[in-house]
Amino acid sequence: MNIPYVPEDLLEIGDYQVVSNENNILVVDNWYKNFEELHQVVTNIPVPRWKWKEGSRNFVDYYDCRPSLNINFPDNNKIGSFFNHIGDLVQNHLQEQEPFQFVGNLLDFNFYKNIKQGVPNTMQHHPHTDFKFNCVVYMDKVASGGTALYEKIDGLPNNEDENLLIDISKYEKTIIPAKPNRLVIFPGHIFHGGYIEDHDKYLEDWRINQVFFLSPPQNNT
């Protein structure tokens, strides 16, 4: 379906509320002003296959996809406002005063859906690490689960392109609950992964989140 929209409106920030800030993990609700419009646009874009290699379980047991919205924003003031809000949250709530830059595409989205029925909730998305700060906005209306942050993981090879799902029952974890239009920011060095409470709820519907990253500026000298 072709959805008409004003590009700048998609990233307009709402009257958000900081609902939790513990252990350098920030949870913010009502992030986007026009969340319903953004949700409608995002749920009508093609979703290309993401992590895969020969023999992968992707597109066999589940769909793991990552589309991007590549949009030209004529009004750079609203983009600047988005960056400023993120900067304020990081500096004022996470006490991070070092400069940072955005990594990758601001409008990248993770799409996940199960093909197999009856997957136990001990099977979760592979724990991994990323950049200095991870930023996730939960987009789907099902919101079964959230993001798992793991206490300590040693010697776990990253085989996400073979099988995104792994038995995490032996690992201590904290769950950040998903909620539509909720932004979470946390240090990327913490092992983390998507967490689904009831896998069968994502047999028909997609688990969707926006993901972007903050990293120290690259020294080009």
DSSP 8-state secondary structure symbol assigned to residue 148: E
Residue linked to tokens 């969340």: 35
What does the DSSP assignment read for 177-216?
E--TT-EEEEETTS-EEEEES-GGGGTTSPEEEEEEEEEP
Both tokens of 64, joined, read 């793991």
**Residue 114 contacts residue 199 (beta carbons within 8 Å):** yes
Evaluate whether residue 63 is within a structural domain. yes
Evaluate whether residue 2 is within a structural domain. no
- Provide the number of structural domains found in the chain: 1
Q: Which amino acid is at 52?
A: W
Give the domain CATH number at 188.
2.60.120
Question: What is the domain extent for residue 178?
Answer: 7-215
Evaluate whether residue 220 is within a structural domain. no
Evaluate whether residue 1 is within a structural domain. no
User: Residue 10 burial (CB < 10 Å; 0-12/13-18/19+)?
Assistant: buried
Q: How do residues 149-168 score in pLDDT, each as one tens digit? A: 998 888 788 888 899 999 99
Residues 6 or more apart in contact with residue 105 via CB below 8 angstroms: 68, 69, 70, 212
Both tokens of 62, joined, read 């589940």
What does the DSSP assignment read for 72-107?
--S-HHHHHHHHHHHHHHHHHHS---S--EEEEEEE
Q: How do residues 171-212 score in pLDDT, each as one tens digit? A: 999 999 999 999 999 999 999 999 999 999 999 999 999 999
Evaluate whether residue 194 is within a structural domain. yes
pTM, rounded to two decimals: 0.92
**Residue 124 contacts residue 156 (beta carbons within 8 Å):** no
How many other C-beta atoms can be found within 10 angstroms of the C-beta atom of residue 92? Answer: 12
Evaluate whether residue 66 is within a structural domain. yes
Q: What is the mean pLDDT of residues 47-61?
A: 94
Q: What pLDDT does residue 221 have?
A: 46
Evaluate whether residue 97 is within a structural domain. yes
DSSP 8-state secondary structure symbol assigned to residue 71: -
Q: Among residues 208, 211, 217, 24, which one has the least CA distance to residue 107?
A: 211
